[in-house]
Structures are given as C-alpha cells and as structure tokens.
Amino acid sequence: MERLQIGIIAEGGRTGQTDFKAYGNNRIGISGCMVLLVDSGCAIVSVGFKRRVLRQGMMAVLFYDDTFWIERSSSTFRCRYVALADDNVQEAIYKLTSPYIWDSLSENPLLRPDNGQWELLESWFEQMVWICHNSANEYTNQLLRNNIYNLFMAMDGEMTQRNAGSNKAISRSRSLIIKFLKLVALHFRTTREVSFYAEQLCITTTYLYKLTHKRWNLSPKELIDKQTICEIKSLLSNTDMSIKEIATALHFEDTPYMCRYFRQRTGVSPMEYRNGIKKP
C-alpha cells in the first residue's frame, strides 16, 4: 500500500509521485528525510503542529522528528517525493554545521524556490530517480548520501548568503527546542515523563515548560501526548496490530490504560477510531 512506502524506509531510498489521499487525515511517518516537490494543486498541511499551505511550485524538506499530515487538499494536488532512510541522511546532517539551514528548516520546512532553483531541483530529482532505479547496489547508498548532501549544501549556501553580515546564530532556546523535539521523536514510545526530557537537556521541567509554552502555547506533556496519539493513529490505520500489541509496543502499563489515554485525547476509543478509518 502507498501509505507504507512513502516515508517509512528501512534502508536506501525511494522516489515517486503521490496525492497522499491514501493517508486520509493521518500522520505520515518519516524514518529519515522526505523531500516533496509540489507539481500541481494545493493542500493545507500540519507540520510540527502548525497549519501551513503547500501549493504548486513549493518544496518541503521533512525529517523524522517532524509531525506531518495533510488536513485537506485540492483534487489536483500532486507532488513528487524522495524518501531516504535515516542512515543516508545522518552523514549530510553531521557534515553541515552551519546553523542557518537547520534553524530555517526548523522554523519552516516549506520553501518556495524561484524559477531557476526549481529547474535545478527538477534535475536533482531526476538524478535521485536514476540512483534509486539504475545504480549498482553497492554504490546506491553512497550516491544517495552524496546527492542529499549536495542539496543541503546548496540550500545552506543560499541561506548563509541571505544572512551574511547579520551575525545571526541559533539561539540557546531554539537549540533546546530542536533537541527536545528530536528526543521526543526518539523516546516517546518508551517514556512520556517530562522529567526525563528535561534531564536529558540539563534544564528544569519548569524551564522546558516556558520554552514550549512560548513557542506553541503548549506544555511539554501536551507535545509528547500529541506525538504519541499520532503514532497510535498511524498504527491503527496502517497496520494490523491488535490494540494490545500497540499498547505493548508503546510501553503502556496495560491495554485499558492506553484505551483511556486515547479516548481522553480524541473522544473515541482506539477500536472506534480504527473502525471509522475502515468505513468506505
């Protein structure tokens, strides 16, 4: 099924075109990085729990810690995608130490290239298609890593030039926010205690609350819960796992507790949600 193939990739990379209709109003899982090029139409999307417009001629650069779903879209909405496994993205992330690209993408991962940049992106996409479908297996991953690094490096060059002379640097508070979101993406399945994340960041829970409340008007616990609910919905929609298996996978103390947790935050039980998704 399409919904299992776009963003969640164990290794290598994948390219294609999609309208995301198969997902409905559900979170789109991303294991490493996903780049979207919108060819037609428009959509209202949620990224990092913020509502944004994604329309023709725009691109999106999304990572594993981005919570992303399509709220609604036009009948003509179509986009090309490149989805890469985490191993093929991390090398590029570690190589680029400039704050500009990561700061900018954290603030808004939806970009509007100019005509010249769009032509370059189309050439880049065609290269990724060729690598995924034609390169020898022993070279595929390295070629994918090189090409995603080239994209990030070009974007970083544009952003660095744009910010030349501004002495702009990533603030401590924003750095902590980014680290918090990455920690939540890595650990929310096993722990949902705010104190754990504050300890990992070497700050107090009160300070963490101030950071998230200022940025989103939400508490750290609410953000962790949103990530957890998105994951439960994704597992209910995209897998055949039983309610008990989902509760175990997400380390809830028992199945009834997970059901209460889900109902309190959505208004329906996990089974009611799953049955509603399956209705024609």
Structure confidence by residue, pLDDT tens digits, 113-138: 999 999 999 999 999 999 988 866 76
CA 233 to chain CA centroid, Å, is 15
CA distances, 226 to each of 59, 69, 100, 149 (Å): 25, 13, 28, 31
Phi and psi dihedrals of 59, rounded to 5? -130, 155
- pLDDT at res. 167: 47
Q: What's the burial of 227, exposed, middle or buried (CB within 10 Å: 0-12/13-18/19+)?
A: buried
- pLDDT at res. 10: 55
- Report residues of the chain scoring pLDDT below 70: 1-11, 94-100, 103, 135-136, 138, 162-171, 277-280
Contact 69, 23 (CB under 8 A): yes
- pLDDT at res. 78: 96
Phi and psi dihedrals of 253, rounded to 5? -65, -30
Contact 132, 15 (CB under 8 A): yes
The topology under which CATH files domain 2-162 is Jelly Rolls (2.60.120)
The topology under which CATH files domain 172-278 is Arc Repressor Mutant, subunit A (1.10.10)
Contact 220, 208 (CB under 8 A): yes
- pLDDT at res. 3: 42
- pLDDT at res. 157: 84
In sequence order, what are the beta bridge partners of 34? 62, 83
In sign, the C-alpha dihedral spanning 254, 259, 260, 265 is: positive
Confidence (pTM):
0.63
C-alpha to C-alpha distance for 73 and 212, rounded to whole angstroms? 29
Domain ranges in the chain? Answer: 2-162, 172-278
Element (H, E) at 180: helix 172-187
Q: What's the burial of 209, exposed, middle or buried (CB within 10 Å: 0-12/13-18/19+)?
A: middle
Structure confidence by residue, pLDDT tens digits, 238-279: 789 999 999 999 999 999 999 999 999 999 999 999 888 654
Contact 71, 40 (CB under 8 A): no
Contact 57, 113 (CB under 8 A): yes
